[in-house]
Amino acid sequence: MINVDATLPKEAFVIPHHYYDDVESVLIPHGLILNRIEKVAQDIANDAQGPLVACCVLKGASVFYADLMNALRKAQTPDRKSIPFSYEFMKVKSYENDKSTGNVQISLSEDELKSYKGKHLLIVEDIVDTGRTMVALLERLKQYEPASVKVVSMLVKRTPESNGYVPDYFGFSVPDYFVVGYGLDYNEYFREMEHICIISDVGKVKYAV
Amino acid sequence: MINVDSTLPKEAFVIPHHYYDDVESVLIPHGLILNRIEKVAQDIANDAQGSLIACCVLKGASVFYADLMNALRKAQTPDRKSIPFSYEFMKVKSYENDKSTGNVQISLSEDELKSYKGKHLLIVEDIVDTGRTMVALLERLKQYEPASVKVVSMLVKRTPESNGYVPDYFGFSVPDYFVVGYGLDYNEYFREMEHICIISDVGKVKYAV
């Protein structure tokens, strides 16, 4: 786990032309993300108790998911074997209703969810902010009786809005900045940028809906 | 475009322990896939007429999609600018009914599909076999009046079952082998393997449902 606080000057990095004015600074450069992912994958491999069902939470985690799966492919368990894993993709929407504190809508069918019984799930998320979505998702998945559920998040935000939930594995702990890039979007923009950056006021206005 | 015909000995490559007996041989090594992708991305960038909506056809194309997006990020248009692109993910199921030769079910909502009007779409597929799914998908997408639709497929199979459809861009042309790996599955197995391989009889039995 790496605590990131200081920002880096955008002039020192290759930023796509079309986003240059739309970001304030670089928070986490792409190369650092990849290096950290290698270690996170190794940690996951060390703890794995069998084949994993690796579930990508679309769309924000898609870039992180791809690089994490690539690293997991190379990682070895303590007895020097490779980890079998399968690919799953889901959209997750959390909402509140009168009856409980949180609920989630998952874009998988009942049959697909039931197939998780007895399996080891690895939920791959881009950012844990308030923690509400993840807590509600874990609550819901419990009903399908997986053997285990672990969560790996690329980022965890340090925010007073947090419900205290901390994922099993995460890449970086960051302050409450408005981050974009490496899969993280602002109205569907910025996902294709390789570094995690802080959006600028120009960017917030340009891509507002 | 590269025509691949001859297979390579699996003993010469790093194959995950758990799949070693399940593959016959290597057809396209991972490094070669990545090198080819760099060029495909450059070809796409050279032709691009604006921002792209890059649609990944889940799940088989997910690994190819990730590497292609990474390469697209680095590619430059003829006037040396980067290409803006956004991420989209969809599941596509083709079926036949009495009324027409082919139909598709797309996992996107009507609203999402309508938002494609006037946009440049890039459909990212893993393999074009008979060509039926892709032809039906393109037919359906036309109704939403995109500015353009281009298809990039990692593989094209040389098969007598083909309807003659050829994608705008593709990585490799392969014979009618039973290929797995690099996102391509056999009953959800093999996706995490980095090379494209030919499955063995042992593998076909082991992972049969």
Give the tens place of pLDDT for each residue, A177-190: 999 999 999 999 99
On the question of pLDDT at A101 being above 70, the answer is: no
- What pLDDT shows up at residue A1? 74
Distance separating alpha carbons of residues A61 and A57, to the nearest angstrom: 6
Coil, strand, or helix at residue B75? Answer: coil
Band the pLDDT of A70: cuts 50, 70, 90: very high
* For B53, nearest residue in chain A (alpha carbons): A188
- A167, with CB counted inside 10 A (0-12, 13-18, 19+), is buried
In this structure, which topology does domain A30-174 adopt according to CATH?
Rossmann fold (3.40.50)
Q: How far is B162 from chain A (nearest CA, A)?
A: 28
Per mean pLDDT, which range of B14-23, B48-57, B75-84 is the poorest?
B75-84
- Contacts B58 to A, Cβ<8 Å: 89
- Kindly report the backbone phi and psi dihedral angles of residue A146, in degrees, each rounded to the nearest multiple of 5, phi listed first: -70, 160
- What pLDDT shows up at residue A103? 83
Note whether B117 contacts A: Cβ–Cβ < 8 A: no
What are the residue ranges spanned by the domains of chain A? 30-174
Coil, strand, or helix at residue B165? Answer: coil
Mean pLDDT over A12-34 rounds to 95
Q: Are A86 and B188 an interchain contact pair (Cβ–Cβ within 8 Å)?
A: yes
Q: Are A191 and B17 an interchain contact pair (Cβ–Cβ within 8 Å)?
A: no
Distance separating alpha carbons of residues A33 and A73, to the nearest angstrom: 17
Q: Are B16 and A73 an interchain contact pair (Cβ–Cβ within 8 Å)?
A: yes
Which tokens hold the place of A126?
Answer: 């881009």
Note whether B63 contacts A: Cβ–Cβ < 8 A: yes
Q: What is the per-residue pLDDT across A140-197, written as a single tens digit (0 to 9) for each?
A: 999 999 999 999 999 999 999 999 999 999 999 999 999 999 999 999 999 999 999 9
On the question of pLDDT at B198 being above 80, the answer is: yes
A109 C-beta neighbours (distance < 10 Å), count = 9
Asked if A94 contacts A102 with a C-beta cutoff of 8 angstroms, the reply is: yes
Mean pLDDT over A33-49 rounds to 95
B60 C-beta neighbours (distance < 10 Å), count = 20
Quote the DSSP letter at residue B200.
P
Mean pLDDT over A45-52 rounds to 95
- What pLDDT shows up at residue B96? 67
- What pLDDT shows up at residue B1? 74
**Tell me, what amino acid is at B81?**
K
Among the residues of chain B, which ranges form H helices?
Answer: 30-47, 62-74, 110-114, 132-142, 201-206
Helix/strand/coil (H/E/C) assignment for every residue in A129-186: CCCHHHHHHHHHHHCCCCCEEEEEEEEEECCCCCCCCCCCEEEEEECCCCEEECCECE
- What pLDDT shows up at residue A99? 54
Q: Which residues pair with B52 in a beta bridge?
A: B85, B120
- What pLDDT shows up at residue B97? 64
Band the pLDDT of B99: cuts 50, 70, 90: low
Note whether A188 contacts B: Cβ–Cβ < 8 A: yes
Nearest to A134 by CA among A121, A145, A120: A121
In this structure, which topology does domain B31-177 adopt according to CATH?
Rossmann fold (3.40.50)
Among the residues of B17-61, which ranges form H helices?
Answer: 30-47
User: How much of chain B exceeds pLDDT 90, in percent?
Assistant: 89
pTM: 0.91
ipTM (interface pTM): 0.85
**Tell me, what amino acid is at A205?**
V
- What pLDDT shows up at residue B101? 52
Q: On the CB side of A184, how many CA atoms lie within 13 Å of its CA?
A: 22
- Contacts B89 to A, Cβ<8 Å: 58-59, 62, 89
Q: Mean of the per-residue pLDDT values for chain B? A: 94
Interhelix angle B62-74/B30-47, nearest 10 degrees = 60
Band the pLDDT of A2: cuts 50, 70, 90: confident
Q: What is the per-residue pLDDT across B183-193, written as a single tens digit (0 to 9) for each?
A: 999 999 999 99
Distance separating alpha carbons of residues A205 and A178, to the nearest angstrom: 14
